[in-house]
Structure 1
Amino acid sequence: MRSRALQVLALLFLLLAIGVAWLWQQRRPPALATEKLVIAANTEYVGACAVVAAQQRGYFAAQGLQVQVLPFSSGKASLQAVVEGKADVATVADIPIVFAAMDGLPVKVLATLFRSGTDHGIVGRRDHGVVTPASLKGKRIGVTQGTSGHFTLDVFLNWQRMEGRDVTMVNYKPEELGQALQRGEVDAISGWEPFLGATRKQLGDAAVAFSGEQAYESIYNLVALRRYTTEHPAVIQRALQALHEASAYCERQPQAVHGMLPATARLERAEVLAAWPSYHFGLELDQSLLLALEDRARWAIRNRLAASREMPNFLDNMYLDGLAGVRPSAVTVIH
């Protein structure tokens, strides 16, 4: 009798376990279908930290994304990869967005990933007569034209009561600037970190550095073409969720990030940690981005750098739905 009772209890327990397991399966969200995503990113720039961290720490994978990161040395080149169909999205500062919009390209900003006012500037050579900002007059200056380094140089020269025609600008890729200065092909270069820091270190006491902190705030963004936002809205939201989590990691863990990023791995740990408080990682679509884009567009029009002479309506270049589904409070664009 007792044996039969134990058998009944065992059967009831088994049925209960099966029932609990079934209920648990019903409550679990369905597994995300794996989607491929190709990101063109300037992995040499600290602003790409969220992209690198999301890939290496599994935030993309947790969102069901199989991500390939194509490395480039500038946002301008990254955006061109999207235009050519080699990538789905790109990381890029504000200047290339302006030129794309003025050329009529249907580029859409998905989110701002990073801001900093301390990573642009100018490095010159003392033995070439560069000792003060005013001494840049008449000098040959290496710069990647059509980028934030170009904008920074122009604004910096204006503060010295100079114009672009008062110097000779020589166009180089970002990774070529330091070598051009070392070879003596130019007297100074204008660009961003980590290229500036590496150049200062290589030149040693011969280097003279001028900060671009007051000339330019780097606003680093994730962008795609309009067609991609229309065809893949769910993928965009999943990518933004992963980048949101990765941005928090980048903000809180500079010591761990130091060795993870190509942009910082070659620098001294103390140097990286000292610079970190001036970096802001976090996803947003802020009204200030529109104002910055308009400011950069006026610069492009004034200097006849773009084919168009008309100010774009940059609200047309904002894709708000993606971030609104991830961090609605971070979308402050007036629309």
Structure 2
Amino acid sequence: MSSTPSQRLIRRETLLAIGLACVLGLLLAAYVWGKRSTPATAPAGPLEKLIIATNTEYIGACPVIAARDRGYFAAQGIQAQVQSHSSGKASLNAVLQGRADFATVADLALALAILNEQPISIVTTIFRTEKDHGIVGRKDHAVLSPVSLKGKRIGVTLGTSGHFTLDVFLNRQRLRSSEVTMVNYRPEELGAALDKGEVDAIAGWEPFLKQNAASQGGNAVTFYGDEVYESIYNIAGMRAFVTEHPRTVTRLLRALAEGARFCSEQVAEASHLVAPSVKTSEAELRAAWPAYRFGIDLDQGLILALEDESRWAIKNKFSNRSDIPNYLDHIYLDGMVEVKPGNVSIIH
């Protein structure tokens, strides 16, 4: 049956409406994508200066680097100076000594500082990974398997997450810490010690592990601690500064949330951004990226990790304390509750 003119008109109007809806949908999608993928625009007026100490050679610093380079800090009214250090421990020391306002730092260094009565407040976690710490050994020094570490000299930065991971790793092999000789080096000195043969193996974290293994070529053997330690990378500052500057903390968290989202979702762009400072090829970074979890949160697992590390630190006499602190006293919840309340699972 043929359609009437009025029916053809209705169909034409319907098709026009559908077409217009599709165009509007595409325009909206393009707008949203542009908002998500282009750097933020700085607001008018003076910016608040903040110094953030971080290990720029560590992949966990990606949210900080992205927030600076893509304008997320500026969009929140922050002029961020990124101060480079070789470890989270050194970054935290910069805050303790008044040379920086905030530090990116793993859980172990925080546990040790708090055990030693430092008034620190943790404002958020920005990064987690399990395949980050490990051991690189020399095959020509008879390091061929985890058990073969017995009796060997192992370079490590004492009192760091590398040291903690090494202890737990040895325990998994039914080896006591006393069955190896630990030699203390700064993180950046470990590779040279291994190359010179001063030690048979070294314990540490990325990017040093890959760099040091590459230096050994086919002589290297690597054992990762992915089943014994999860690195929880955080932002922390002095308690007085944090509590006296709640708006600053809120703006900092909003910028870091954007930086973490970029690092999580825009893998190609993020790996291109951080590759020069991490000193790893973009291809290697993209291959390893699935093991990296970026995002701001305050999870109960952080408290549990700090408590476990406190027991280890007390046993190894890294503190004169014999009791475990109430770590909830060192978590600043207000900022995350305002910015990302759904990402706060700490019992309080």
Encode CA deviations 1:156-207: one digit per residue, 9 max, x unaligned: 1111111111111111111111111011111000011110001111111100
What is the rounded CA distance, in whole Å, between the counterparts of 2:100 and 2:285 in structure 1? Answer: 30
Shift of 1:265: 5.1
Residue 46 of structure 1 corresponds to which residue in structure 2? 59
Q: Aligned to 1:101, which of 81, 99, 114?
A: 114
Relative to structure 1, the CA distance from residue 265 to residue 229 in structure 2 (aligned partners, 3 Å threshold; closer, same or farther) is: closer
Cα contact 1:102–1:306 (8 A) shared by 2 = yes
What is the 5 A alignment of 1:215-254?
Answer: 215-254=228-267
What is the 5 A alignment of 1:9-158?
Answer: 33-158=46-171
Q: Which amino acid aligns with 2:214?
A: K
Q: Which amino acid aligns with 2:300?
A: Q
What is the rounded CA distance, in whole Å, between the counterparts of 2:277 and 2:129 in structure 1? Answer: 15
What is the rounded CA distance, in whole Å, between the counterparts of 1:112 and 1:229 in structure 2? Answer: 15
Question: How many percent identity over aligned positions?
Answer: 56
Q: Which amino acid aligns with 1:58?
A: G
Relative to structure 1, the CA distance from residue 268 to residue 31 in structure 2 (aligned partners, 3 Å threshold; closer, same or farther) is: closer
Segments of structure 1 that go 5 or more residues without pairing to the other structure are 1-29
Q: Aligned to 2:339, what secondary structure does the other structure show?
A: coil
Cα contact 2:123–2:332 (8 A) shared by 1 = yes
What is the rounded CA distance, in whole Å, between the counterparts of 1:155 and 1:287 in structure 2? Answer: 21
What is the 5 A alignment of 1:202-217?
Answer: 202-217=215-230
Relative to structure 1, the CA distance from residue 263 to residue 159 in structure 2 (aligned partners, 3 Å threshold; closer, same or farther) is: farther
Shift of 1:246: 0.7
What is the rounded CA distance, in whole Å, between the counterparts of 1:188 and 1:116 in structure 2? Answer: 23
Q: Which amino acid aligns with 1:169?
A: M
Encode CA deviations 1:194-248: one digit per residue, 9 max, x unaligned: 1000111111110011110011000000001111112211111101100000100
The alignment status of 1:188 with 2:201, answered yes or no, reads yes
Q: Aligned to 2:270, which of 248, 257, 266?
A: 257
Shift of 1:305: 2.1
What is the rounded CA distance, in whole Å, between the counterparts of 2:293 and 2:200 in structure 1? Answer: 32
What is the rounded CA distance, in whole Å, between the counterparts of 1:106 and 1:64 in structure 2? Answer: 27
What is the rounded CA distance, in whole Å, between the counterparts of 1:96 and 1:124 in structure 2? Answer: 25
Residues matched between the structures, number: 306
Encode CA deviations 1:94-130: one digit per residue, 9 max, x unaligned: 0111111111111111000000000111000000110
Q: Which amino acid aligns with 1:91?
A: T
Residue 159 of structure 1 corresponds to which residue in structure 2? 172
Segments of structure 2 that go 5 or more residues without pairing to the other structure are 1-42
What is the rounded CA distance, in whole Å, between the counterparts of 2:169 and 2:181 in structure 1? Answer: 15
Q: Which moved more, 1:81-90 or 1:262-271?
A: 262-271
What is the rounded CA distance, in whole Å, between the counterparts of 2:276 and 2:179 in structure 1? Answer: 33
Relative to structure 1, the CA distance from residue 298 to residue 39 in structure 2 (aligned partners, 3 Å threshold; closer, same or farther) is: same
What is the rounded CA distance, in whole Å, between the counterparts of 2:113 and 2:205 in structure 1? Answer: 21
